Amino acid sequence: MSGHISIVTDSTADLPTSLAEQNHIHVVPNILVIEGKSYEDGQDISREEFYELLPKMKTLPTTATASVGAYQTLYEKLLKKGAQAILSFHASSLLSGIYNTAVTAAQAFAGRVRVIDSEQVSMGLGFQVLAAAESLAKGCSLQEILQHVKEVQEKIRVVAMLDTLEYVRRSGRVSWARAHLGNLLHIKPFIELRRGRVLSLGEVRTRQKGIERVKKMLTEIGAMDQLAILHTNAEQEARMLLEEVKNKIKNDPLVVHVTTVIGTHVGPKGLGFAAVTD
């Protein structure tokens, strides 16, 4: 298959494996370092296990991008297989170095690899990648694909309730979280990802109120094109949430157990959603 376009993303997109395979999307795993030992995202340790262990770990896990070399190897392989161009979609450059790594790797291929900053993470990124795959399948040109992705990006909302501010604060990636040196013990922050940044939507003090607020925010969106309920070991609540809104979504909604690479920075028992509005 010569002259086609290949789509690449990384594991922070949270694309379910079946969806990625079905749409011929190449996913580069990120790296998780737990007590000195490196894991490829999604390997060796299950998400359930990871989130169970996370609060008990003496030192917080750290995360790393795949190397520039790993990206170069993949790009080279795809181009050799006959790809005319590669679209490489990645997590917000304001939150992670993945985009920069991919950009550095792409420099070796004289404009044939186009790296896109999704300004999102998790399914906020995943839905953009799926939009690209959908356009590609329709036979759109590279420009048309990028145009479509941009339109989808504008309609994405990613909101989450975290069970504690602690992990975001310790991650050091969110400036306002550092000032919120929690005096109150029971604080569940609400965050929204917009234009690549993590914004504060305030807090609640009890989980029940938090879940109600997620539900309220979700219903206030109204009609949706696509929806993914996101959670970090809160499967049951995620399913409950889905029941509430599933008749308002055009496409099959997803329940996504968020990758450990993101989970390290948000902690267990987070609950939220990524929605593409109608």
Chosen residue from 143, 202, 243, 252 binding other proteins by CB under 8 A: 202
Q: DSSP character for 11?
A: G
Chosen residue from 143, 183, 236, 247 binding other proteins by CB under 8 A: 183
Does residue 176 touch other proteins according to CB under 8 A? Answer: yes
Label residue 270 exposed, middle or buried (CB < 10 Å: 0-12, 13-18, 19+): buried
Q: Which range of residues in 71-79, 92-100, 146-154, 243-251 is near other proteins by CB under 8 A?
A: 92-100
For residue 234, which amino acid is it? A
Give the integer Cα–Cα distance in Å for 103 and 31: 18
Residue 206 Cβ, how far from other proteins at the closest point, in Å? 4
Contact predicate 75/109, CB 8 Å: yes
Query: What is the contact mask toward other proteins in residues 59 to 88, using x (rule: CB under 8 A)?
Result: x--xxxx-----------------------
Number of residues near other proteins (by CB under 8 A): 40
User: Residues with Cβ < 8 Å from 265, sequence gap 6 or more?
Assistant: 63, 167, 168, 171, 173
Does residue 182 touch other proteins according to CB under 8 A? Answer: yes
CA 55, 42, 251, 136 torsion-angle sign: positive
Q: What is the DSSP string of 208-253?
A: HHHHHHHHHHHHHH-SEEEEEEEESS-HHHHHHHHHHHGGGBSSPP
Closest CA to 261 of 57, 110, 45: 45
For residue 12, which amino acid is it? T
Given the complex with other proteins, which of 28 and 78 has the nearer CB atom?
28
Given the complex with other proteins, which of 17 and 59 has the nearer CB atom?
59
Does residue 96 touch other proteins according to CB under 8 A? Answer: yes
Chosen residue from 1, 110, 184, 223 binding other proteins by CB under 8 A: 184
Does residue 205 touch other proteins according to CB under 8 A? Answer: yes
Q: Which range of residues in 82-90, 123-131, 133-141, 185-193 is near other proteins by CB under 8 A?
A: 185-193
Query: What is the contact mask toward other proteins in residues 101 to 130, using x (rule: CB under 8 A)?
Result: x-----------------------------
